[in-house]
């Protein structure tokens, strides 16, 4: 269905995984999408695969000027910027006492800073247009659930949820909704190696009541709904797509794996 027909969108982290699944779902729903990612080859492949309504743009979301330029490019290419999805991010697994300042800063710059820049400049462009818009921030169950060895990622994603709330508070009366999606374990190229490890797979599936990882396409479908007028009263909330894992604790990625070994 053409829920997003004629809409112009930016999706960061769009060359693979969840970001690509969201971009694909948006195009299937009628939108045109500027795909942003650091991986130039994967980005070109994704844009080619998605067709004429997809444009790839190499973007480092930790650099504010590059994010601002991407928002402007989407507006110029599509005639409007109606939807922004801030999906780019990564984590670092290390005990808190061993995590380097450099690694901490790198995670915050991309996973938290990139979302801030995306909300800031996406909203600015929408306000300049004088038309409503939707900003979707991709968070994580780790925004609410502490993860062993994941202090940088958990802190960044908790910050993402608060950016979503603050954005909704400040921008809602001006016609811009800011919402979030918090995936749990999702089957993507990034998690493929982990899921192929029997010990790691058992740790993760053991805390998911539905006993399966989510598919990236499920995140894409949720993003289409949130970006559409069907969700026009949803603002400031972050929806978990996790098979129910938030009803239990997060797997112990350090001590749990040691015990399994």
Residues with catalytic annotation?
Answer: 153
| Assigned token pair, 13 | 């982290």
103-135: b (≥16 Cβ within 10 Å) or e: ebeebbebbbbbbbbbbbbbbebbeebeeebbb
3-state secondary structure of 16: coil
C-beta separation of 12 from 87 below 8 A: yes
Token pair for residue 186? Answer: 């999702």
136 neighbors 84 (Cβ within 8 angstroms): yes
Q: What is the DSSP string of 24-83?
A: HHHHHTT-EEEEEES-HHHHHHHHHHH-TTEEEEE--TTSHHHHHHHHHHHHHHHS---E
End-to-end CA distance of the chain: 48
CA distance 161 to 237: 8
């Amino acid at each position: 269905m053409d829920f997003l027909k004629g809409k112009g969108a930016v999706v960061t982290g769009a060359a693979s995984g969840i970001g690509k699944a969201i971009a694909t779902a948006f195009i299937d729903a009628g939108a045109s999408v500027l795909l942003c990612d650091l991986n130039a080859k994967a980005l070109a492949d994704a844009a080619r695969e998605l067709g004429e309504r997809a444009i790839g743009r190499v973007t480092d979301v930790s650099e504010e000027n590059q994010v601002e330029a991407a928002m402007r490019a989407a507006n110029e290419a599509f005639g409007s910027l109606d939807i922004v999805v801030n999906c780019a991010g990564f984590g670092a697994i290390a005990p808190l006492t061993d995590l380097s300042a450099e690694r901490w800063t790198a995670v915050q710059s991309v996973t938290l800073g990139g979302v801030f820049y995306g909300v800031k400049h996406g909203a600015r462009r929408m306000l300049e247009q004088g038309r409503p818009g939707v900003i979707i921030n991709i968070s994580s169950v780790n925004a609410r659930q502490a993860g062993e060895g994941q202090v940088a990622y958990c802190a960044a994603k908790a910050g993402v949820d608060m950016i979503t709330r603050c954005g909704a508070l400040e921008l809602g009366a001006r016609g811009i909704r800011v919402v979030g999606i918090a995936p749990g374990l999702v089957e993507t190229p990034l998690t493929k190696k982990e899921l192929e490890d029997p010990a790691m797979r058992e740790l993760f599936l053991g805390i998911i009541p539905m006993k399966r990882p989510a598919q990236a396409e499920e995140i894409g479908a949720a993003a289409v709904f949130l970006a559409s007028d069907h969700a026009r009263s949803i603002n400031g909330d972050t929806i978990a797509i996790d098979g129910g894992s938030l009803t239990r604790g997060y797997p112990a990625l350090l001590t749990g794996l040691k015990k399994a070994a």
